[in-house]
Amino acid sequence: MVVYDLICKKNHRFEGWFPSFEGFQEQSVKKLISCPTCGSTKVEKMPHACAVLSNRGDKAEKKEPAQTEKGPEVRLTAEQAKELLIRLNHYVRENFEDVGSRFPEEARAIFHGESEKKSIHGTSTPQQREELDEEGIPYVILPKPELDS
């Protein structure tokens, strides 16, 4: 799932969720994306900052993030937030390899090019996460959703 900030020809800004970059392109070509404010189908992706790891192990000079104009704040209900969290966790379980408690070692090996590049998930202790942080190894902590019994 990818999320893009979009803008229509009348400068209305909105967010679009797509199954993939190709999904966005396909819908865009077929004029299936329309502005929720004015209905225009002349829609473009807005430029956005992204993080790219260019040199493994090399610590590049940190730059200040560019100031970007924020769009309207979207507030989710508790149920909507829970649903998104459930979907995110399901996506990770389906598309990432579960390496369990070996997560720090696997992440380190992938980062240093000692293991094949792949998407993984697993568990780690606070101390292991601190060590990954010190080494500059990127990871994300995903909260587990509370499921109704």
The average pLDDT across 109-122 equals 92
What's the pLDDT score for residue 147? Answer: 64
Helix 126-135 to helix 103-111 angle, to the nearest 10 degrees?
10
pLDDT, tens digit, for every residue of 5-22?
A: 888 899 898 888 888 878
- The identity of residue 148, as a single letter, is D
Rounded CA-CA distance 85/144 in Å is 7
What's the pLDDT score for residue 49? Answer: 47
Sign of CA pseudo-dihedral 91, 97, 101, 105? negative
